[in-house]
Chain A
Amino acid sequence: QSALTQPPAASGAPGQSVTISCTGTSNDVGVYNYVSWYQQHPGKAPKLMIYEVNKRPSGVPDRFSASKSGNTASLTVSGLQADDEADYFCGSYAGINNWVFGGGTKLTVL
Chain B
Amino acid sequence: QLQLQESGPGLVKPSETLSLTCTVSGGSISNNNYLWVWIRQPPGKGLEWIGRIYYSGGTYYNPSLKSRVTISVDTSKNQFSVKLSSVTAADTAVYYCATLPKRYSGYDGFDYWGQGTLVTVSP
Contacts and interface: CB of A to CB of B under 8 A. Distances in A.
Contacts of A50: 109
A70 interface: no
A64 interface: no
Nearest to B46: A103
A91 interface: yes
Nearest to A97: B60
The size class of the interface chain B forms with chain A is: 20 to 34
Given A52-B109, A57-B109, A46 B114 contact: no
A96 B108 contact: no
A38 B45 CA distance: 14
Contacts of A98: 49, 60, 62-63
B103 interface: yes
Given A34-B108, A52-B103, A52-B105, A45 B47 contact: no
Contacts of B52: 97
Nearest to A100: B49
Interface in B1-44: none
A48 B48 CA distance: 15
Contacts of B115: 44-45
A89 B47 contact: yes
A52 B113 CA distance: 18
Given A2-B45, A36-B110, A45-B115, 14 more contacts: A45-B114, A45-B116, A46-B113, A51-B103, A51-B109, A52-B103, A57-B109, A98-B49, A101-B46, A101-B48, A102-B46, A103-B46, A104-B46, A104-B47
Interface of B: 45-49, 52, 60, 62-63, 96, 103, 105-111, 113-116
Interface of A: 2, 33-34, 36, 38, 44-48, 50-52, 55, 57, 89, 91, 93, 96-104
